[in-house]
């Protein structure tokens, strides 16, 4: 369930946060009840984005994770105020093996976001990246809602309905 995702996210984020001396703020919309279909790997995809946000930010900054509804989508925003990405390189960061010029002093293989994008797209979602207004980077993930029950509007959790994860990634 989405509740599991949230608890897993905060659990894992707390762990990452601890080791990096960051704080991760998790915000969810308290008044929505809806379903999206994602694979179990979707979790890893989101965590990849959060890991990057922590990795490419100085310690003692806040990484913000917002999960909410926007029209017929569930959106997940991951915002950091880290080193940022040059505008001209924003599109390329999803390519396999690509590492932006301002990340050269960090260890990495440039595959995390490529895998992340594959997982999200396979789950009928999209991923976009923007420069943060002040400083840093914003990632936005959208997955379509396939069902929502307006009679249950007052429920305070979002439910993610996992589907069997049985395909290979690069289809
Ligand atoms: P790894 O495969 O180990 O994750 P990586 O972090 O270098 O290595 P990706 O996660 O695919 O690779 O990210 C690709 C590139 O995008 C990074 O090398 C970095 O230049 C840039 N990048 C990704 N996320 C951020 C971020 N939050 N802030 C700044 N740069 C980022
Ligand atoms: Mg990475």
Cα distances from 171 to residues 91, 112, 163, in angstroms, run 21, 17, 17
Which is more confident, 132 or 73?
132
What pLDDT does residue 22 have? Answer: 62
What pLDDT does residue 63 have? Answer: 84
What pLDDT does residue 149 have? Answer: 53
| Closest residue by Cα to residue 34 from 151, 146, 124 | 146
pLDDT tens-digit readout, 32-49: 455 667 777 887 898 899
- From 58, 112, 116, 141, give the residue whose CB has the most ligand 1 atoms within 8 Å, as the site to mutate: 112
| Closest residue by Cα to residue 1 from 164, 161, 165 | 161
What pLDDT does residue 153 have? Answer: 44
| Closest residue by Cα to residue 55 from 83, 30, 35 | 83
* Ligand 1 centroid distance, CA of 100 (Å): 7
Rg (CA), the chain: 16
What pLDDT does residue 96 have? Answer: 97
- Tell me how far apart the alpha carbons of residues 92 and 94 are, in angstroms, rounded to a whole number: 5
What pLDDT does residue 161 have? Answer: 32
Ligand 1 pocket member 150 (CB < 6 A):
no
pLDDT tens-digit readout, 126-161: 999 999 998 999 999 998 877 665 544 433 334 333
pTM score of the predicted model: 0.82
- Tell me how far apart the alpha carbons of residues 86 and 30 are, in angstroms, rounded to a whole number: 35
What pLDDT does residue 170 have? Answer: 40
What pLDDT does residue 28 have? Answer: 58
Expressed in percent and rounded to 5, the helix, strand and coil fractions of the chain are 35, 30, 35
Assess contact for 145 and 157: CB atoms under 8 A.
no
Task: Supply the angle between the helices 2-20 and 41-55 in degrees, to the nearest 10.
Answer: 30
* Ligand 1 centroid distance, CA of 138 (Å): 13
> N- to C-terminal Cα distance for the chain?
26
Mean pLDDT within 98-109: 94
The two structure tokens encoding residue 59: 């310690």
Ligand at shortest distance from the CA of 127: 1
pLDDT tens-digit readout, 51-64: 899 899 988 788 88
Assess contact for 16 and 51: CB atoms under 8 A.
yes
């Amino acid at each position: 369930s989405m509740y599991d995702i949230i608890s897993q996210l905060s659990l894992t984020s707390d762990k990452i946060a601890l080791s990096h001396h960051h704080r991760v703020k998790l915000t969810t919309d308290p008044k929505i009840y809806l379903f999206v279909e994602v694979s179990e790997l979707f979790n890893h995809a989101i965590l990849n984005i959060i890991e990057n946000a922590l990795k490419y930010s100085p310690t003692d900054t806040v990484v913000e994770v917002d999960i909410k509804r926007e029209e017929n989508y569930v959106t997940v925003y991951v915002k950091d105020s880290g080193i940022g990405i040059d505008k001209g390189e924003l599109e390329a960061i999803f390519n396999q093996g690509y590492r932006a010029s301002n990340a050269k002093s960090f260890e990495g293989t440039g595959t995390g976001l490529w895998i992340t994008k594959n997982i999200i797209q396979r789950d009928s979602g999209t991923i976009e990246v923007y420069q943060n207004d002040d400083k840093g980077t914003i990632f936005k993930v959208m997955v379509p809602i396939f069902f929502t029950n307006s009679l249950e509007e007052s429920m305070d959790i979002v439910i993610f309905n996992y589907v069997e994860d049985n395909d290979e990634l690069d289809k």
